[in-house]
Structure 1
Amino acid sequence: MSQCYSIELYFDPALENQVLKAWNVLARRQISTQLIEIESRPHITLFSSPFIDPSKLENIVKCIASKQEPLHLSFSSIGSLPNGKNVLFLAPTPSLSLLRFHLQLCDAMKKEGIEIGEEFRMDSWIPYCPVAEEVPKTRMAEAFTVLRDLKLPVTGYVMDIGLVEYSPVRELFSFVLVSSCKILVVMVSAIFEPSVINLVKVQVGRARRTVDYYLVLSELNVGKFYSA
């Protein structure tokens, strides 16, 4: 099977867990297990193509991440794609900051001579987070019913951007958006005493990826904050 590459946005641990809950409910009901089987991660796809050199994208993505603060997301609706893959998804409210970030990425890739397919061009791109793929047509209504049980809107932040190849999914590289650690420190500051906050600041300063931040907080016995 030929490989394909995608640039994806990843979420803070609390928001990621909310999406994973939907994946797991659909899997337990044997409606769809595709995303789990290919070892995907909750995400929004910014760009995808089989015809790119991954090394050419690394500097572009790194530069974009270094200039971008975490993006606020609010998944406010459920939808499906009109194609043969029978995809169900959570759709974020299309904020100006999210659309601008996507435009900046497209402009940076164009300057490097990277062709952007119709699906990911600014005037046709649909931001969404898949929650089920290859859903049998006879169970689409049931799947929608399951997803309607989610208490929308579900909100959080985009914290990382990375490149993966698939399938199965394998991360080639990822970068934390420049101020992600500040967001986490603010979240911790709201509920913990100063001595813990100072320790978190020191530890987070040494971490390189959002998943590392989560592990740091777990080691400090404050990771439970994200399971709400």
Structure 2
Amino acid sequence: MYGVVLHLDSDAEQKIVKLWKELDGLEISHYAEEIPDRRPHITLADYSELDEKTFTEMFRAFYSSKTKFTLTLGVLGTFLQSGTLFLAPTPTLELIELHADHHDHFKEYTGFSNSLYAPGMWIPHCTIANRLNGQKLAEGLQYCTGKLQVLTAEVVEISIIKLLYKDNQCVSAPAIFSQKLL
């Protein structure tokens, strides 16, 4: 499985990683520790299969002239019945157009039919905790509500990640290609 993800500036990344570690220290979520070198991100698309070489070449050409843009992450939310806690950005024209343009340009690549990242389904978000039971979700919401401030971040990079599984559990998600935005 593959993902196309947006990365934030280092200051925003550090703030989110700090929050991940605080939630880990409070025994609320171990999201920070599940996958080595995990970076905060907003997923644009996911794919079950890719021809890595061809997709990477198309990706490089498509994203080589894209520019950085600013997002405001000011919403703390959860997907119903998911046990996931996330920060969501205010949808901007730049973000919505980037998502639509990506899916239009890469339409020959099929994602998952029920993908949360498909056009018409996508809720842009940056996961801060997952696999939470009801009690841990409530604790996470309470902690984050009291702790977080609105976060302004710049989208500075976009990557293709490859999710690697062992016993149906994702154990690694290395970037196979990254493009810095102008």
Q: TM-score, normalised by structure 2?
A: 0.88
Identity %: 27
Of residues 26, 37, 55, the one that matches 2:34 is 37
Higher relative contact order (CA 8 A, sep 6+): 2
Deviation at 1:49, TM superposition (A): 2.1
2:149 equivalent in structure 1:
152
Give distance in 2, aligned partners of 1:152 and 1:54: 39
Of residues 75, 88, 95, the one that matches 1:77 is 75
Runs of 4+ in 1 over 6 A off after TM superposition: none
Per-residue CA shift, 1:122-141, capped at 9, x if unaligned?
22211000000111222211
Deviation at 1:35, TM superposition (A): 3.7
Of residues 44, 59, 62, the one that matches 2:60 is 62
**Contact 2:88 2:126 (8 Å CA) reproduced:** yes
Task: Tell me which protein shows more strand as a share of its residues.
Answer: 2
**Contact 1:73 1:157 (8 Å CA) reproduced:** yes
Task: Tell me which protein shows more helix as a share of its residues.
Answer: 1
Query: Is 1:170 the equivalent of 2:174?
Result: yes
Deviation at 1:151, TM superposition (A): 3.7
Mark the runs of 5 or more structure 1 residues left unpaired by the alignment: 180-228
**Contact 2:31 2:128 (8 Å CA) reproduced:** no
**Contact 1:106 1:116 (8 Å CA) reproduced:** no
Mark the runs of 5 or more structure 2 residues left unpaired by the alignment: 164-169
Deviation at 1:16, TM superposition (A): 0.5
RMSD: 1.5
1:115 equivalent in structure 2:
110
Deviation at 1:73, TM superposition (A): 0.9
Q: TM-score, normalised by structure 1?
A: 0.71
Give distance in 2, aligned partners of 1:104 and 1:73: 18
Per-residue CA shift, 1:147-174, capped at 9, x if unaligned?
1133431001010000111221211110
